[in-house]
């Protein structure tokens, strides 16, 4: 009987453990790092519909700023300052190629290419969310 209830608890934990990672399905992780290429992967190809999440694993703040914000073309995304151990994410970014940089360290450059069909819901949204350990890929 004691074993049975222990199994229930154990299985409950297993269910939670196996359910949680499914939240990560559909999230594409890009890591901000201290050394070149700074954004890893620097050149990312991502299926439409994925949430793209940049995780700042460095000791200083960075931004994720679409080149259009600098050139005067459409400014598709601009994270603002992302502190260490925080992340920035974009949802519903439409198919296309987007080069971006860090406003604070312009040597940091990356490209995201979204492939596939246009995502329903038209516009992207972006939020700065608290970094959660274990979710970021190193
Ligand atoms: Cu930076």
Ion ligand 1: residues, CB within 5 A, are 62, 102, 104-105, 108
Query: How many angstroms does the Cα of residue 129 sit away from the middle of ligand 1?
Result: 18
Q: How far is CA 84 from the centre of its chain?
A: 14
Burial class from Cβ neighbours inside 10 Å (0-12, 13-18, 19+) for residue 67 reads middle
pLDDT tens per residue, range 88-107: 999 878 899 999 999 999 99
Query: How many angstroms does the Cα of residue 63 sit away from the middle of ligand 1?
Result: 6
| Residues paired with 46 in a beta bridge | 114
For residues 63 and 69, the answer to whether their CB atoms sit within 8 Å is: no
Query: How many angstroms does the Cα of residue 102 sit away from the middle of ligand 1?
Result: 5
| Residues paired with 101 in a beta bridge | 65, 109
| Residues paired with 51 in a beta bridge | 27
- For residue 76, the tally of other CB atoms under 10 A from its CB is 19
pTM, 2 dp = 0.71
Fold assignment, 26-130: Immunoglobulin-like (2.60.40)
pLDDT tens per residue, range 9-59: 554 544 444 443 333 358 999 999 999 999 999 999 999 889 999 999 999
Who's near 94: CB < 8 A, 6+ residues apart?
48, 114, 118, 119, 124
User: Is the predicted pLDDT of residue 67 greater than 90, yes or no?
Assistant: yes
Query: How many angstroms does the Cα of residue 5 sit away from the middle of ligand 1?
Result: 51
Query: How many angstroms does the Cα of residue 48 sit away from the middle of ligand 1?
Result: 26
Query: How many angstroms does the Cα of residue 31 sit away from the middle of ligand 1?
Result: 12
């Amino acid at each position: 009987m004691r074993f049975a209830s222990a199994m229930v608890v154990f299985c409950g934990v297993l269910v939670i453990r196996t359910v949680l990672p499914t939240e990560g399905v559909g999230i594409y992780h890009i890591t901000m790092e201290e050394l070149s290429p700074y954004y890893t992967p620097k050149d990312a190809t991502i299926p439409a519909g994925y949430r793209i999440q940049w995780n700042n694993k460095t000791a200083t703040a960075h931004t994720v700023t679409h080149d259009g914000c600098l050139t005067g073309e459409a400014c598709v995304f601009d994270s603002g300052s992302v502190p260490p151990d925080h992340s920035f994410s974009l949802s519903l970014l439409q198919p296309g190629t987007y080069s971006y940089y860090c406003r604070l360290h312009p040597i940091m450059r990356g490209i995201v290419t979204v492939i596939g069909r246009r995502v329903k819901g038209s516009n992207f949204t972006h939020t700065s969310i608290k970094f959660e350990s274990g979710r970021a890929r190193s």
